[in-house]
Amino acid sequence: MKRAAFAILVPCVMTAGCASAPLAPEPARRVGELPPLNEAVEHSVGDAVYETYNYLQFDGAKLSEGAMVDVLAASWSLPVNELLQAVQDAEVGKIYCTRGPTLRVMNQAPSSRVCLADRNGDGRLEGWKAPEGPPARRKWGKLKPEVGYVAGGDLTATMGGFRYELLYQGVSGNVLRLLYREYIDDLARPAFQQDLTYTLAENGPTEVSFRGLRLRVHSADNNTIRYERLSGLVRR
């Protein structure tokens, strides 16, 4: 009888431990290239006349300050602008967790995600826990000092994603101005950008090209551009 009781107890304990670890929804992959080929479109100054992208997207928050904990052999640290993924916690509601192991115990390799919470809704993260860590770290502890964050909207993961875009900057005289921007991994700020200029044809459409991308411009002024895409950008 004692053996049977023990056999039932172990799975229950393991299940409880697993249930305490909030699971994040899988990020959505965004893949695309716009506008469609050979289709006349019109855009305004400041709009993207071309974009191609492939990245993971998720709901989350970005730290506006760095955060760290080093107490009782457990330590972790996160830099400013770190992206955290939103997770539903049974006790608190929405919390924000690292997307990979961050907690170190006894200076060993990271063994658990770290989750932060704004439990009083004042715009500061004041609680933390490690859902896959030692039992003592699966409970909410105080984060000192508290950390500011920005939440809301979709954020982009930094797992090999990219976004390339060409922005319309208007016309100066008979010169068409475009701005090329390249985002790699960090889609919050461009890793590279370049100003491009092209002389407009006096009569008929003007074809412009950049790294394999070809556009046929039918008309352009300081307000709008009407064009069609003939081919796509070649990635370096």
Cα separation, 171 vs 169, whole angstroms: 7
CA distance 25 to 47: 32
* Residue 221 exposure: Cα atoms within 13 Å on the Cβ side: 1
Range name among 12-21, 68-77, 99-108, 190-199 with the lowest pLDDT average: 12-21
Radius of gyration, CA atoms only, the chain: 25
Peptide bond into 145 cis (omega under 30): yes
Asked if pLDDT for residue 8 goes beyond 60, the answer is no
Percent above pLDDT 70 for the chain? 85
pLDDT of 91 strictly over 90: no
Cβ atoms of 224 and 44 closer than 8 Å: yes
List of E strands, 45-161: 48-63, 67-71, 74-78, 83-89, 93-97, 104-105, 115-117, 124-129, 141-156
Angstrom distance (rounded) from CA 116 to CA 128: 4
Distances (CA, A) of 66 to 104, 175, 236: 17, 45, 34
User: How far apart are alpha carbons 184 and 52 in whole angstroms?
Assistant: 12
Q: How far apart are CA 195 and CA 215, in angstroms?
A: 16
Q: Which value, to the nearest 10 degrees, does the dihedral of the CA atoms of residues 137, 139, 140, 144 take?
A: -30
What's the rounded Cα separation, in Å, for the pair 183 and 162? 5
- Range 18-36 average pLDDT: 75
**Distances in whole angstroms, Cα of residue 174 to Cα of each of 171, 201, 209, 224:** 7, 8, 17, 14
Q: Confidence class of residue 9 from pLDDT cuts 50, 70 and 90?
A: very low
For the chain, give the number of residues. 236
The residue behind tokens 């393991």 is 14
- The two tokens of residue 201 are 């044809």
The pTM (predicted TM-score) of the whole model is 0.65
Q: Using CA atoms, how far apart are residues 82 and 74, in angstroms rounded to an integer?
A: 20
23 falls in which pLDDT band (50, 70, 90)? Answer: low
pLDDT of residue 129: 95
* Nearest of 24, 110, 116 to residue 64 by alpha carbon: 116
